[in-house]
Amino acid sequence: MSANATVPDATGGPTFAEIFGPVFWGFCVSLILGGVSALQGYLYFTRYNDKFLVRAVAAMMLVLDFTSMALICQSMYYYMLPHFGSFAPLGAVTSELNVECLISAVITFTSQMYFVYQLYMVKSAGMTAAVMKALIIVFGMVGLSGAIGCVAMMFMYPHSIFTNRNHVFAVLAGIAKGFGAAADIIATIAMCMFLKSADTGIKRTSSMLKALMHLVINRGILVTAAQILLLITFFATAGHLYWLAVHINTTKLYVNTFFGMLNARTSLQERYATGHMSLSGETTAYSQRLVAAAIPASPKTAAHEKFGELDTQNYAMGAIRVTTSSTVADI
The mean of the pLDDT values for the chain is 76
- Buried b / exposed e across 32-56, counting CB within 10 Å, b at 16+? ebbeebeebbeebbeebebeeebee
Which pLDDT value is given to residue 87?
76
Q: What is the pLDDT of residue 205?
A: 65
The domains located in the chain, with CATH, are 3-270 (1.20.1070), 273-330 (no CATH)
Q: What is the pLDDT of residue 286?
A: 43
Q: What is the pLDDT of residue 40?
A: 92
pTM given for the model: 0.75
Q: What pLDDT score does 70 carry?
A: 93
Determine the pLDDT at residue 312: 34
The model's pLDDT over 89-116, given as tens digits with 9 standing for 90+, comes to 777 888 899 999 999 999 999 999 988 8
Q: Which of 4-18, 119-133, 290-304, 306-320 has the lowest mean pLDDT?
A: 306-320
Provide, rounded to the nearest whole percent, the portion of the chain with pLDDT above 90. Answer: 33
pLDDT recorded at residue 301: 40
pLDDT at 149: 94
Convert the pLDDT of each residue in 233-282 to its tens digit.
988 877 778 898 999 999 899 999 999 888 887 776 666 655 443 333 33
Contacts of 107 (CB under 8 A, 6+ apart): 61, 64, 65, 68, 251, 254, 255
Bigger pLDDT: 294 vs 161: 161
Strand residues in the chain grouped as ranges (E): 277-278, 321-323, 328-330
Report how far apart, in Å, the C-alpha atoms of 305 and of each of 205, 277, 299 are: 22, 18, 10
Cβ atoms of 221 and 160 within 8 Å: the answer is no
CA distance 272 to 61: 29
Confidence class of residue 298 from pLDDT cuts 50, 70 and 90?
Answer: very low
pLDDT tens, residue by residue, 195-240: 777 666 666 666 777 777 777 888 888 888 999 999 999 888 777 7
